[in-house]
A = this chain, B = another copy of it.
Amino acid sequence: MPRIHNFSAGPCTLPVEVLETARDQMLDYEGTGMSIIEMSHRSKPVQAVRDEAVQRMKHLLDLPDNFHVLFLGGGATLQFGMIPLNLLNKDRTADYTHSGAWAKKAIADAKGLGNVNVVFDGSAADFMTLPDPSTVKSSTDATYLHLTSNETIGGVQWKDFPACDAPIVADMSSDFLSRPFDVSRFGLVYAGAQKNIGPAGLAVVIIRDDLLEKCNDGLPGYLSYGGHVAGDSMLNTPPVFQLYMVNLVLKWLEGKGGLAWAQDMAAKRSGLLYDTINKHNAFYRCPVDAKFRSTMNVVFRLPSEDLEAQFVKEADAAGLSGLKGHRSVGGCRASIYNSMPMEGVEALAGFMTDFAGKHG
């Protein structure tokens, strides 16, 4: 079976070169006579992988020294809880922006642990738009302001970030490493790995010293950011396979040209799809406010749900997989992360044009 083009929202396609390396090293990592996943996490090779991944991340993001990079098991969903467990309490307040399905989960966890102000609520607009960042201010007593940089289900994406007084805490799960950003506005950035970073089962957390110092004491060991920083992401046995794969993906991204390359490619991939939708706007329709359309998740509708089902089915038969929209909103969605080759997007654009010609 040849490799097919995989437009899943995540887990999603990974660079072929990375998969080939994982395959070739599966029984013998660099002449050690064992797999990297069979080695003690205290061994030199595993520690070197962790150190390399941290250094690559710092370099790609141009991180100042007052930020710490953590790789943690449990995914971004655990972070929805860990953030307020560490940073909120009954005497503290956080601002949250409600931009869609993922923001909603983050808000739900925070509400049980402290005072939450929802400073933007997109529900009345069905989460098809976002606020002008310059209008978003934090409350005077906010410990942080939380936002979701990209909503995979709605297909909306912050193009710039608020310049608010409170440090921003951002769930960047679905567009992390797809563009440069000014990290100095952020106190904590987190992302599940399974979009642009590697396989599912790991979250990257980047935390600034001043937020680290504000963390609550007395938490269970695994739930304390301080413990993970002190343990250099090896407070406990980490998900070694994911660490290894993340390091390979970051190396691959460096070779491609880093975040500038990622941003340029994201614009090209998403541009081609949005252009195709516009060109056939009697057939395809993107419901998202043009100012906030995601470069990662292109959502679109066809004239009927029957045609959408047929589109997904025929695309799948043509080697274009994973185009069904999220079950909560329906429609179609093409997720086009860093690892999606341009040929995949061109094949999809061609298929869309043909399909519109036949059924439009």
B20 touches A27 (CB 8 A): yes
Closest to A85 in B: B220
Kindly state whether residue A219 has any CB partner on chain B within 8 Å. Answer: yes
Q: Chain B residues near A19: list those with CB within 8 A.
A: 26-27, 35
A40 touches B322 (CB 8 A): yes
- A222-275 contacts to B, CB under 8 A, are 222-223, 235-242
B80 touches A222 (CB 8 A): yes
Which one of A107-115, A183-191, A284-292 is at the interface?
A: A107-115
A1 touches B31 (CB 8 A): yes
- A62-91 contacts to B, CB under 8 A, are 72-78, 80-82, 84-85
Q: Chain B residues near A37: list those with CB within 8 A.
A: 11, 14, 199-200
- A140-195 contacts to B, CB under 8 A, are 192, 194
Q: Chain B residues near A327: list those with CB within 8 A.
A: 42
Kindly state whether residue A221 has any CB partner on chain B within 8 Å. Answer: yes
Which one of A2-10, A204-212, A304-312, A351-359 is at the interface?
A: A2-10
Q: Chain B residues near A202: list those with CB within 8 A.
A: 201, 239
Q: Chain B residues near A313: list those with CB within 8 A.
A: none
Q: Chain B residues near A221: list those with CB within 8 A.
A: 77, 80-81, 105, 108-109
Question: Which residues of A does B touch, CB under 8 Å?
Answer: 1-4, 6, 8-14, 16, 19-20, 22-23, 26-28, 31-35, 37-43, 72-78, 80-82, 84-85, 105, 108-109, 112-113, 192, 194, 199-202, 218-223, 235-242, 319, 321-322, 327
Known: A194-B237, A200-B237; 12 extra A-B contacts, CB below 8 A, are A3-B33, A8-B43, A34-B321, A37-B199, A75-B222, A77-B222, A77-B237, A78-B223, A78-B236, A112-B218, A201-B202, A201-B240
18 contacts between A and B (CB under 8 A): A1-B31, A1-B32, A11-B39, A11-B40, A13-B34, A19-B27, A23-B27, A72-B74, A73-B78, A77-B237, A105-B221, A112-B220, A200-B240, A201-B201, A201-B238, A201-B241, A201-B242, A239-B242
